[in-house]
A and B are shown apart, each in its own frame.
Chain A
Amino acid sequence: MCEHDQCTSHAGQKPDMRPVYPKAGSYPHFAKLVDTQKAQVDRKVFHDQEIYEAELRQIFGRAWLFLAHESQIPEPGDFLRTYMGEDNVIVVRQRDRSVNAFLNSCPHRGNRVCMVDAGKKARGFICNYHGWSFGIDGGLRGTDGKVYDSDATFDKGSIGLTPVAQIASYKGLIFATFDPDAPSLEEFLGDFTWYLDVMLDNDEGGTEFIGGAIKSVIDCNWKFPAENFVGDILHAFWTHQSGAQAILGGGVDLGARYDELAFQASVYGHGIETNLDKVGNTRTLGYPELVDYVFSRQKAMADRLGEVRARMVGAVSSATVFPNFSFLPGQATFRVWHPRGPDKIELVVWTLVNKNMPEHIKELYRKGVMMTFSPAGVFEMDDGENWEYSTRVNQGFVTRQQPLHYALGVGTRDDSRDLPGIIHKGSLNDANQRLFYTRWAEFMRFDNWHDLQNGETAPPQRMAQRQAAE
């Protein structure tokens, strides 16, 4: 009945209520659906139910997944409800000010113990079904209080909400994993932290999320938006051209020094494309004052991050942290594409600002994100329809046999630039998307973290070390 070694389940014995963290398997036949030689991805990965179940086990059951920003739950008892894959979790600040996260499911009959999206100063979480009550530390405090108290075999201390296996923060962003064997968050992110710092560390005061979350549902496979943000600026010139003209009075512009400056960087499937044009993304929010603000901070940001990254803060750029956490530098929108089956996502969007920004600047970012990258936003609507049809067409049996083309920029690898990660020249490139799917294939193929962290998507110095060792 349960997977614990010692559990023999004799009558009268106390049930073993320890958390169960699933073990990964290996799905080489799914991994082969990503053909790196031909730069093709089999459409099966966008509609097949078995593959989706394997994703929940191999990827969402193991990877570090974004939960919340520290600023959303500042005080003990402050909490929010989110998802890791399809698993509903409660993220809650503890009395010692650390953060923990628990499955939102009562260990008695499984009902949710928290129904609201977020709240302040929670004392605990009580299940609606039989009154089982859990502290913010997840421990069972009591039940209905009448029957179990007289049951000598009832071991309250051994029962609680299931905690995530590991939880950690990187510069304000809280992540967790269900895999006790996963490497540290920083090891999982690898050199990609260098790029995360563009948004998370361009000011000494740190960052915060403002204005709550905007949620929506899009009928698409979760990988379409994730791959779009990991490295597809190409679509902007067609998909977003009319929106850009309406807001900017002109088309999307990657800057005069594109050939010299633009690049894509990828580490363990996380990726960013950028044009180093200083303000291209910020411009699309439609407020000249924001553009002036970003320009005014160039020197301070360069002192802190160096010239290259200072140019990235407001630039035309997009990024994904594998598997499903994405953001747009410049536009300041951060989001998670929660999977809801192979053909649906729940999208949750926040606005990230520096705590030290003037209030009216923060407000302009909040409004700008709302008007561009929300369900009613100019650019979000453009994207959503594309991803829905990219997904839905695969209901066609013949359609889904057809190959997809991921070959833009084959042969553009650039090892000459002193930048972390696997670098490709030019942001108009499928390179990061190829590496995103290569990472996806690694998660399908490998059942252990040693292989996962030393494969094709590992940063170059890591690969060099591996080759030297062999």
Chain B
Amino acid sequence: MMADALDMVRICDLSEIGEEILKVSLEGHKPLGVTCLDGIYYVFPDTCPHANESLSKGWIEDGRVVCPVHFAEFELGNGAVHNGPSGCARLTFYECEARIDGLYARLTS
């Protein structure tokens, strides 16, 4: 348990997170997208799995992340893709945890 918790990286203050998609850039990591819906926090790569577009320029709609360019939709939590361009992969969601001093996530893979 202790080792797992230590592997988590602090992402940002909880107060920074709203229902929009927040872009977070951390040293040594690719940019992240962060959002909160119905009290649940979500952390995922900011780059759309289809190409190179920034998902933080998109929006959340009906429980899905919507890419601003080709409008692929990714289910919050499991990353399943809807209406994506041909060959568009799922979106990865990182395990994350709200703590008193901020949002933490395990940035695997």
A interface vs B, CB < 8 Å? Answer: 123-124, 126, 131, 133, 135, 141-142, 144-146, 149
Contact = CB atoms under 8 A, between A and B. Distances in A.
Identify the interface centre among B48, B51, B53, B85: most chain A CB within 10 Å of its CB.
Answer: B51
B28 to A, nearest CB: 22
B77 interface: no
Contacts of B68: 135, 141-142
Given A131-B85, A145-B53, A123 B66 contact: yes
A177 B105 CA distance: 54
The 9 closest A-B pairs by CB, nearest first: A145-B51, A142-B69, A133-B69, A145-B52, A123-B71, A141-B69, A149-B52, A142-B53, A145-B53
Nearest to A124: B71
Given A124-B71, A126-B71, A131-B85, A145 B66 contact: no
B interface SS class = loop
B50 interface: yes
Interface residues of B, number: 11
B30 interface: no
B52 A126 contact: no
A156 to B, nearest CB: 10
A144 B71 contact: no
B48 A145 contact: yes
A135 B48 CA distance: 17
Contacts of B82: none
B71 A146 contact: no
Interface in B66-98: 66, 68-71, 85
A124 B70 CA distance: 9
A133 B70 contact: yes
Contacts of A142: 51, 53, 68-70
A146 B70 CA distance: 13
Nearest to B54: A142
Given A123-B71, A142-B69, A145-B53, 4 more contacts: A133-B69, A141-B69, A142-B70, A145-B48
Contacts of A149: 51-52
B21 to A, nearest CB: 15
Nearest to A142: B69
Contacts of B52: 145-146, 149
A263 to B, nearest CB: 54
A149 B50 CA distance: 14
Interface in B38-73: 48, 50-53, 66, 68-71
17 contacts: A123-B66, A126-B70, A126-B71, A131-B70, A131-B85, A133-B70, A133-B71, A141-B68, A141-B69, A142-B53, A142-B68, A142-B69, A145-B50, A145-B52, A145-B53, A145-B70, A146-B52
A149 B53 CA distance: 9
A142 B68 CA distance: 8
Identify the interface centre among A123, A124, A141, A149: most chain B CB within 10 Å of its CB.
Answer: A123
B57 to A, nearest CB: 8
B66 to A, nearest CB: 7
A146 B69 contact: no
Contacts of B71: 123-124, 126, 133
B51 A146 contact: yes
Contacts of A131: 70, 85
Nearest to B57: A141
A126 B50 CA distance: 15
A149 B70 CA distance: 15
Contacts of A133: 69-71
Contacts of B53: 142, 145
Interface in B14-53: 48, 50-53
Nearest to A132: B69
A133 B48 CA distance: 15
Contacts of B70: 126, 131, 133, 142, 145
